[in-house]
Structure 1
């Protein structure tokens, strides 16, 4: 029998700091929470002890929307994340190409704000990779940069129409300029060589340890399916699970293919049910489908109710309302929850309208959620609670970054500044909240996201103007969403520090409730416990 006592702790659970300083664990389950004496009596002699040194102990953080598979692929490719200038991007691409014998140069992570609004050009990339095709995805993974050889390999020219779910940026003569948005990426990405499953699995394992070090004990891989040059990561996860090397509670969401039609709904639902059954038997719960309804605001591909500034475009909608209203009830009736990517207010409304067509008894059996939710029409805020739809927030974005100032507000209007990421309004309206990072798009460190949720300012910028100060969450609310909220959403069985609950815990180096909110981002995780065992990540 394994036994662990965590003492000298500030214990946070159920949305508040508890009147307790010690936690007792036996065989992976919490058995006592209270004073040191009472917990020792419950646990008995011979327990290992962990001194929290006055730090906050929370339920393990759970990332309800992360892409470890994408991060693993990025590590195998030309990694441009963090490059702060065009010169640095150029140097990284040249160096990678010089060292790589691969027939394609593939990678990504470039910052869109370093390029014009129309995106990077093929001629620029031709100078860096002149001898073979190259395709580099941006930091959001919603756009790609192709050189002339890649465009030619895919047969793209002035006569190539835009796909229904994307856009080919073009020069003055109508020829593809090198920037591909959303579904247009797939026109080139479908040609990329497939990576070895073992290589991807090793990358996922390495990154999962990074999550554990940050206090994240569970997560949802937000897209299990081939799209945008990435393979289906299911086999990589199952390989890790079969070898028993994956620590932490992983779940997955089965990708809804972009070419799904009304006639194919029943077949897809049957496929999702079978995939869920097989994956669960291997230890990867996947009773969720991932439906991507629109793109992102910055490239005018998010689906809006009102036109983007200076145009009559309302962005892109990847699935018709009729299909959404057919698919969501069919999935829920089969016991499959739906994880929706919805950035624009029109996409959010389409999703909620779809959930409104689900009988209440079916909605109650699953855990539906909308992720990202950058813009929500005020009339739709209360519908989250009414339809039992969880708001799956990515809080790190909810501040005025360079991207917000340079690419978001210019296309939707400065007057909408306080309408972005209305987490406070959702909470006041009774919506269930969960949180995630969307890593590698933003930091996976939960304390960075919690900092922004509470202050609405970028970490380390205490004097910045808050983005929609009225939409800030209290520290207790944000922590509860990132722990209990996400755990409940994914059905992981933790989420609380109470007898009978799974002992998945995170130990911080301080008590952020005892200090100004401006310092929340300085909090560091110092120990992670999964199923009662201190993780050596």
Structure 2
């Protein structure tokens, strides 16, 4: 075999997950010009190492296909994840106490600055009305903006509503709305993005330079967790491309980004043409390809689209005033061979999107349905019949719902529909493509913990927590594939396999994800993250020093 020149990198390992079968193979991976040039046995490595620029031996560590998060919001998400993180707090009094402490420790003059928080769990309200009485006695007359954990609703203070001029009579392009009290006055709740924007437009913004720096740090953290790429499903900030270009002027992005801009309710033909014109824009490690659509809101806020109302009498409407307008937008992009991924959480939303995809003439374009939180067998069959790809977030189930149905999501749906939660196993068994991700900042992005939760149906490292619908657990292989080959299939491309000719995206971890207990894998060290053949994370020395039974020499460059 003739070796290409030059060989940029050779990695030796006794645990290479090789090919589509993820067969554990001892040997080496040779990389040239961002591609895998060869996967071979160690005894045949001399001709490859002789001309290699860098040779590394990672010993018994496992070389995996590069992990890719199918759903992230790294730029828009920074606008959500501001201030105090309320994640994991489920008691009303506990939230009030946390806000009071934060307000006391955050220097600002009353009425002249904003208090931000995020990750608020609506479970704190119990069966009471969602409103800003939460602030009474602790944030009186303050400008406060809190985003609920799903990102689809915000709770704001009366002072914030007054500053923004919100009356509750605004006409919105979607079925989102301003929550009202019994007297018809705004009660502080803003449901869905069109309503949230009424106040977001007056919020103080970090400087452009700070946003660029924070994005760089976030992408670096993602790479440290083992991610090589992510699909960014929004174009929430109007200067998104300027932020990316500014970051690239400072150096390389730590992970690759595939950007699928969203087309929101109320989009015009000119808007569709503008999004079509965006396709193909790119930098060195980012490119625009695909479109994000949104069929409904969320179950927790009563804005999903269900066949039958939730226990509050809500979740009966799509996000688009006319759902056929979304179908027309999908058809427009399909005709131009642009893949779409559509947010659909409620059973009627998923059904509508599946039937819309199924009605499109086949032209090789893959369309994906995002979230799919609760569906009956009949809707699952529609997904399969349509040939739609799917994308789910295992930790949304594991972190935000409970096996005993005491969480807000389950109580709103009722037990029958709550028992149809996040049917990852049924979808895979039926032949659907099932990509996995985090929806950061809605849930933490660490892929190791999410791969673990996909197998356990509970939070990683919490064996004391009862699993949610454990029969829907994925196998270790299916969970890993959700971050590798299944992801690539969900966007209609080949990838996620360690073999000759493949893109040189690799995640090297200390323990084999196929044979390691899920909770242990959630804590496994990331040794290398390789993006397009370039090492962007190298923890060999630090890990070697911290592991007594692993010799330091195993991790030294040859």
SS at match of 1:399: helix
* Cα distance in structure 1, aligned partners of 2:321 and 2:251: 39
Of residues 250, 256, 259, the one that matches 2:263 is: 256
Of residues 185, 189, 192, the one that matches 2:196 is: 185
Q: Which residue of 2 aligns with 1:154?
A: 164
Q: 8 Å contact 2:265–2:319 — kept in the other structure?
A: no
Q: 8 Å contact 1:300–1:315 — kept in the other structure?
A: no
Q: Which residue of 2 aligns with 1:344?
A: 346
Q: Which residue of 2 aligns with 1:44?
A: 50
Trace 1:60-71 onto structure 2 (pairs within 5 A): 60-71=66-77
Of residues 194, 199, 223, the one that matches 1:212 is: 223
- RMSD (CA atoms): 2.9
2:363 maps to 1:358: no
1:394-441 deviation line (CA, Å, top 9, x unaligned) = 122233745663211111112233311111111111111211110111
User: What is the deviation of 1:495?
Assistant: 1.2
* Cα distance in structure 2, aligned partners of 1:161 and 1:126: 29
Q: 8 Å contact 2:434–2:482 — kept in the other structure?
A: yes
Of residues 217, 221, 225, the one that matches 2:232 is: 221
Q: 8 Å contact 1:294–1:316 — kept in the other structure?
A: yes
Which structure has more helix as a fraction of its residues?
1
Q: 8 Å contact 2:130–2:189 — kept in the other structure?
A: yes
Q: Cα 1:452–1:124, aligned 2, differ >3 Å: closer, same or farther?
A: closer
SS at match of 2:462: coil
Q: 8 Å contact 2:341–2:369 — kept in the other structure?
A: yes
* Cα distance in structure 2, aligned partners of 1:258 and 1:193: 26
* Cα distance in structure 2, aligned partners of 1:457 and 1:276: 38
Q: 8 Å contact 1:10–1:56 — kept in the other structure?
A: yes
Farther-moved stretch of structure 1 (88-97 vs 121-130): 121-130
Q: 8 Å contact 1:11–1:57 — kept in the other structure?
A: yes
TM-score (norm 1): 0.89
Q: Which residue of 2 aligns with 1:322?
A: 324
1:203-256 deviation line (CA, Å, top 9, x unaligned) = 111100011011111111111135xxxx55332123223444313211111121
Farther-moved stretch of structure 1 (189-198 vs 523-532): 189-198
Trace 1:363-402 onto structure 2 (pairs within 5 A): 364=364, 366-399=365-398, 401=400
Q: Which runs of 5+ in 2 are unaligned?
A: 1-5, 539-558
Q: 8 Å contact 2:174–2:321 — kept in the other structure?
A: no
1:446-466 deviation line (CA, Å, top 9, x unaligned) = 111111111222212225433
2:18 maps to 1:10: no
Q: 8 Å contact 2:401–2:410 — kept in the other structure?
A: no
SS at match of 2:264: coil
Q: Which runs of 5+ in 1 are unaligned?
A: none
* Cα distance in structure 2, aligned partners of 1:221 and 1:79: 24
Q: Which residue of 2 aligns with 1:276?
A: 279
User: What is the deviation of 1:102?
Assistant: 6.7
TM-score (norm 2): 0.85
* Cα distance in structure 1, aligned partners of 2:129 and 2:45: 59
Q: Cα 1:96–1:332, aligned 2, differ >3 Å: closer, same or farther?
A: farther
SS at match of 1:514: coil
Q: Which residue of 2 aligns with 1:234?
A: 241
* Cα distance in structure 1, aligned partners of 2:381 and 2:131: 44
SS at match of 2:316: coil
